Structure 1
Amino acid sequence: MTLHAPLIIDVAGTRLSKTDKRRLAHPLVGGVILFARNWADRAQLTKLCRQIKKVRADLLICVDHEGGRVQRFRSDGFTHLPPMRAFGDLWFNGPGAATGEAALNACNAATAAGFVLGAELRACGVDFTFAPVLDLDHGGSTVIGDRAFARDARVTTALAQALMHGLLQAGVRNCGKHFPGHGHVQADSHVDLPVDERDLATLVADDAAPYRWLNASLTSVMPAHVVYPQVDTRPAGFSARWLDGILRGQLGFTGAIFSDDLSMAGARQIDGREVSYTEAALAALEAGCDLVLLCNQCVVDGGAPIDALIDGLSEAVVTGRWAPREASEQRRQDLLPQGYPLPWDELMVDARYMHALSLLP
């Protein structure tokens, strides 16, 4: 077993620089997250992914690619996937809604979407996507909104299970987010620290319910940068009570836990004070995260924040402030894709793929 590699970082452009390669080769770096700035076309993306794997074959190549407004690759043949709300709408309003047939059709369409999403990413060399969103649509959150399947936790669970099955057909693992639920708060954790005043019983019975019902299917979870003060004063991603006590202990989750982006405003305030990226990473890891993300910092001062985080975590290992965990590394390795993907040209004429396209709402 190799040293636990918890850091997921990003790169600046459409090909790796020498600095990118140096960072990705560091034993504490476990993966890379791609953004629209890393995309020009399919050929370029495929070459970039090959460059990354040449640095280290075990690096996890990730992307936020959900469908709707959160889809990093949108041209050169990539399918424009619908927002998750479209599947909820099909469930409630599609033909046969009164008899339950619409619900089954919605689940079938969600499976098709998961397969299309995963197969297209894998055809270009991407390993993993941060999907599905399990947040409930309470109607007030602009940052979640139509990214959510529905308000009903049961409908959300069924549709998410279906989408995850489609991803698995393409060999791609899944990530439920944002635990225990971001859909009730109006504030956007990218720019603020949202606070949800509901009590634990309400949260577990409603917003967090999909995590209990999907505990045998979820391979990873991303907690919310939201404070639930009736449970803990820390945001969920920095709370051992939420991660080890409730998510793992009470709800039975056994997979990997990612922090959300540590550069977000919701991650910079812990225990009433502003923290550095290294302090935030250590707090997340100590609370129970297996992997921590730092996004969009490769373009700040030549990536100085990434170097500072790598150096800070390295120092924490040397001084004994943080100890790598073998179980966490195994969970990271378990997220690597299964099987071999179809090359793009073969995928485009694959019967299952073409049928899946026909099922999308």
Structure 2
Amino acid sequence: MSLGPVMLDIEGLRPTAAERELLCRPEVGGVILFSRNYTSPDQLQELIDELHGLRDPRLLIAVDQEGGRVQRFRDGFTRLPPVAELGRVYDEDRARALALAETTGWLMASELRAMGVDLSFAPVLDIDRRRSSVIGDRAFHRRPEAVAELAHAYQKGMQSAGMAAVGKHYPGHGGVEADSHLDLPVDERELADLELEDLLPFERLIHQGLAGIMVAHVLYPRIDADLAGFSAFWLQDYLRRQLRFQGVIFSDDLGMAAAERAGDMVARARSALNAGCDMILVCNRPREARAVVEALEGYENPASQARLIRLHGRRALTPEELRRERRWREAVAAVQGYDSEPLLDMDLE
């Protein structure tokens, strides 16, 4: 069985019988986990072992573990500062910031890989243009060159831990005020302006081996009439042909309010795949998720399947082995050292 184009979520700490049946469908290729799916490392390990045991090749397991306000697994994992803290250090000491970014990427990825998680949707490549509250301190910096440098270092850390990097939110979410979870963000800039700013980190990291990209639900009406995640221009003409990106293209969650412009959930799924997405995310909508999977029965895209299979994480240490590593202990100390709100009572044992 190959990996299908749909990534789903589950409602609780273990998949229900109905969820297990759906996850075994050939149209499904992955699972994204949220805070509601986590209580402890032991519970998470049992859940991931169960998900991995459902089929061969195993499902891709993903999470958003950026740090700051977007860190799904907390107790039992190192607290990660928002990456804007790395931007603050960058303004004071560029070399130190780049070293810390690589260390942070490695620490985040190594702790997840120890549990069997394949992907964290990171790094964020958006620019903090002081407009988007949903991005804000999730962005490394306000300058594109700084974002590109810090994100490249972070990507190197992830790769050394055995995890592929997935940059988001292409072609850039930092220039709009609206939150695409709740509303339709519209960016009125011309393509030339985006190329000088928001697109620069994506272009740089693509040339440095970026394995995946997640697309923003943002409309750029001066460039194309479709939302970026449903746009053949943005995904095929520009990303594949202009930037020569060869990795996996993920949609953002099709259940977000901004995606309503593309129709009902099945229409959104078909439009995103037809535009060029390799994998679509359908979250928090169990009935509609089933409808999408059933509607895509028989769907095949060999090129996408080949790309997706390469995203499985490489072999990792067990959690116990990882915590005996000097590199892990030094990384935890380094991350605490630049966190402006550290947890002083963290037990490294």
Q: TM-score surpassing 0.5?
A: yes
Shift of 1:204: 1.4
Q: How does 1:218-237 map to 2 (within 5 A)?
A: 218-237=210-229
- Partner in structure 1 of residue 9 of structure 2: 10
2: CA distance, partners of 1:156 / 1:3? 35
Among 332, 341, 349, which residue is 2:316 paired with? 341
Equivalent residue number for residue 41 of structure 1: 40
Tell me the CA shift for residue 265 of structure 1: 0.7
Of 152, 174, 195, which residue of structure 1 is paired with 2:165?
174
Shift of 1:276: 1.2
* CA distance in structure 2 between the aligned counterparts of 1:212 and 1:114, rounded to whole angstroms: 20
Q: CA deviation at 1:3?
A: 4.7
295, 300, 311: which one aligns with 1:312:
295
Note if contact 1:68-1:83 (Cα within 8 Å) is conserved in structure 2.
Answer: yes
Alpha-carbon offset, residue 344 of structure 1: 1.1
- Corresponding pairs, count: 334
Structure 1 range deviating more: 136-145 or 3-12:
3-12
Aligned to 2:204: 213
Q: Which residue of 2 aligns with 1:97?
A: none
Q: In the alignment, which residue of structure 2 is the partner of 1:352? A: 327
Aligned equivalents of 1:113, 1:177: Cα separation in 2: 18
Equivalent residue number for residue 99 of structure 1: none
Say whether the 8 Å CA contact 1:176–1:220 is kept in structure 2. Answer: yes
Map 1:122-137 → 2, pairs under 5 A: 122-137=113-128
Secondary structure of the residue aligned to 1:52 is helix
Aligned-pair distance for 1:119? Answer: 1.0
| 1:84 paired to 2:60 | no
Aligned residue for 1:337, secondary structure, equals: coil
Deviates more, 1:55-64 or 1:178-187: 55-64
TM-score scaled to structure 1, two decimals?
0.91
Contact 1:211–1:253 (CA under 8 A) maintained in structure 2: no
Matching of residue 188 in structure 1 with residue 179 in structure 2 = yes
CA RMSD of aligned residues (A): 1.1
Q: Which amino acid aligns with 1:343?
A: T
Letter aligned with residue 182 of structure 1:
H
Aligned to 1:45, the other structure's residue is in SS state helix
Give the C-alpha shift of residue 238 in structure 1.
0.4
**C-alpha displacement at 1:356, in angstroms?**
1.5
Q: Does 1:201 align with 2:192?
A: yes
Extract unaligned runs of 5+ from structure 2: 339-349
**1:127 deviation in Å?**
1.1
Alignment of 1:269-280 (within 5 A): 269-270=261-262, 275-280=263-268
Contact kept, 8 Å, 1:4 with 1:324, in 2: the verdict is no
- For normalisation by structure 2, the TM-score amounts to 0.94
- Pairwise CA distance, 1:355: 1.7
Identity of aligned residues (%): 44
Equivalent residue in structure 1 for 2:246, among 238, 248, 254: 254
Shift of 1:308: 0.9
Task: Report the 3-state secondary structure (helix = DSSP H, G, I; strand = E; otherwise coil) of the residue aligned with 1:215.
Answer: helix
User: What is the Cα deviation at residue 358 of structure 1?
Assistant: 2.3
Q: Counterparts of 2:188 and 2:111 in 1: how far apart (Å)?
A: 40
User: For structure 1, which runs of at least 5 residues remain unmatched after alignment?
Assistant: 94-101, 298-302, 318-322
Contact preservation (8 Å) 1:263, 1:277: yes
- The residue matched to 1:155 in structure 2 has which SS? helix
Structure 2 partner of 1:50: 49
Deviation of 1:251 after TM superposition, in Å, equals 1.5
Displacement after TM superposition at 1:190 (Å)? 0.2
Name the CA distance, whole Å, in 1 between partners of 2:134 and 2:326: 36
